[in-house]
Amino acid sequence: MIGSNLRANQPWQRLLALGLMFVLSLSLSSCNPNQFVRADADVPRIVSSVLSEPRTFNAVLSQESPNIFGYTYEGLTDSDGITGDVIPGLAESWDISEDGQTIVFTLREGLRWSDGEPLTADDVLFTFNDLIFNPDIPTSTRDVLRIGQEGLLPTVSKVDDRRIQFDLPEPFAPFLRTTGTSILPEHVLRSTIEETDSSGNLRFLSTWGTDTNPQDLVVNGPYTLQQYIPGERLIFERNPYYWKQDEEGNPQPYIRQVVWQIVESTDNSIVQFRSGGLDLISVTPDSFTLLKREEDRGDFTIYEGGPALGTNFLAFNLNRGSRNGEPLVNPVRSRWFNMLEFRQAVAYALDRDRMIINIFQGLGEAQTSPISVQSPYFASPEEGVPSYSRDLDRARELLLSAGFEYNDAGELFDDEGNRVRFTLITNAGNNIRESLGAQVAQDLGDIGMRVDFQPIAFNSLVERLSDSLDWECHLLGLTGGLEPNNGFNVWSVDGSLHAFNQNIPSGPSAIEGWEVEPWEQRISDLYVEAAQVVDEDERRALYLETQQLTQEYLPFIYLINPLSLSAVRNRIEGVQYSALGGALHNIHELELSDS
């Protein structure tokens, strides 16, 4: 997770990260970027922008994009931005036992934190055993590391200062991809898990929020966070202790600074890119034709990486639970949303062809799966995955069969005389999302539904989806990748991003009367089983069934998969663009020309 995208997984194609479908756009803020860049023209830097504020500087607690961690942290492993292959990160190598259940990582020699302190096996143990595996710390990373039906976690132990051993309770095919999670510094954070605040919560839970002085953050990635001015910008400075060097022994990255301007409108980002104040921008379909005409004049190149990795979807709140005796969703609307015929009717009513032509300018195709097209586990409609071309007659037929009725004006009512009307929310400032929402409201009006479309600030939207759970229908997206299990926290019934039917089992916000549908549990179980299987053909068969179920029961109603497009100034040399890694996946080896 577009204006912004929620994160479905972690290690995460270091973005991307995550991401992602997240529009890494470049734009205006209250501080004019042109003036800002000219004032510091002697500093080699790349200037881009993001659509919303970061929500935390704590990598373990983060669930959303944009986030700073693709620049500031690395894990034991990484992902190749072109092929998606697992490659060494902080670990220079690893050895796997014949049964696949013991993996020993060897850290690179001489690793250091940004404060100059050594990075050792103790930091890795601390990150996994004391943070990620700590039940008192809510983190989505723990979800994707759970193994087997019992959801067991690996045992992590220290061999010596450079070697760490992971013992798995059973074979776990996605394991290496899960070890790209950010490693955090024990010498700075140890005290935060040994002390509590006045409410009895671990001090770690309030550590490294966005109110933290950036100078207090200790990192291991290519950049440190030098400055954060809320509502304006973030400045990343080259980490002098970063481990990568070129073949001649020169320290990397070469580019001294990366600047994110914060903006809440893609229109403003396009204006600033065209004026020359920004160095790269995610090209949205509505801006493609204009920018393509200006490539030579603007001295930039538009790169195309094939289908984007993430998803765009419509989701209804299927949660039947209550909090403090009050239903989370109005019972009348909840009954509609939980009718399969209702969701299928909505899927048939959506005019995806018109979305492709009018909103995506032909630069996309109908999306039919939660798994990215580039993944070897993606399955198409030709393999038995249901798809939904527009069919208003079929939509009305499904609604009538479920007891809904039409009046003489063509308005839809349920069998108790309630007008079918609900609120659809999305993140404000993303033109594509806002256009999609407006068309969804029109399309569903064609089958008699009244949709109140309300774009809201992204951080407010995240709060409603993850905390208050006060929503009826939303239009959003999730980041994607090659490994489906990185989305386990979405599809596990207990996952922290199981947004369409989120459970909070304990604490003051606990939900009473939460229910799980058989198909929902089956998808969850299949994800567990697929992670246990090493044979690739067997894994693919299991993920095929998950895609068939998600498309039949429609917890997410998928919309359009756009092309991955970015415009990058030609002064940035060494760009190797892909949908997997974007324009900056190899930022450590990018250089700026003198022109």
Query: What pLDDT was estimated at residue 32?
Result: 44
Rounded average pLDDT over 104-109: 98
Topology at the third CATH level for domain 22-73+221-307+563-592: D-Maltodextrin-Binding Protein; domain 2 (3.40.190)
Band the pLDDT of 15: cuts 50, 70, 90. Answer: very low
Separation of CA 189 from chain center: 26
Domain boundaries, the chain: 22-73+221-307+563-592, 77-191, 311-558
Band the pLDDT of 595: cuts 50, 70, 90. Answer: low
Rounded average pLDDT over 69-89: 95
pLDDT at 106 exceeding the cut of 60? yes
DSSP string, 486-507: GGHHHHSTT-TT-GGG----SS
Separation of CA 289 from chain center: 27
Query: What pLDDT was estimated at residue 34?
Result: 42
Same fold, 22-73+221-307+563-592 and 311-558: no
Give the closest residue to 546 by CA, choosing from 485, 465, 476: 485
Query: What pLDDT was estimated at residue 511?
Result: 95
For residue 181, give Cα distances in angstroms to 84, 100, 121, 175, 178. 16, 20, 15, 11, 6
Topology at the third CATH level for domain 311-558: Dipeptide-binding Protein; domain 3 (3.10.105)
pLDDT of 300-326, one tens digit each? 999 999 999 989 999 999 999 999 899
Rounded average pLDDT over 390-417: 98
Query: What pLDDT was estimated at residue 263?
Result: 81
Q: Rounded distance, CA 369 to CA 428, Å?
A: 25
Separation of CA 239 from chain center: 25
pLDDT at 537 exceeding the cut of 50? yes
What's the whole-model pTM score?
0.78
Task: Count Cβ neighbours within 10 Å for each residue of 444-472 and write b for 16 or more, e otherwise.
Answer: beebbbebebebbebeebbeebbeebebb
Place of tokens 């009717």: 345
The answer as to CATH 3.90.76.10 being correct for domain 77-191 is yes
What is the amino acid identity at position 366? A
Band the pLDDT of 1: cuts 50, 70, 90. Answer: very low
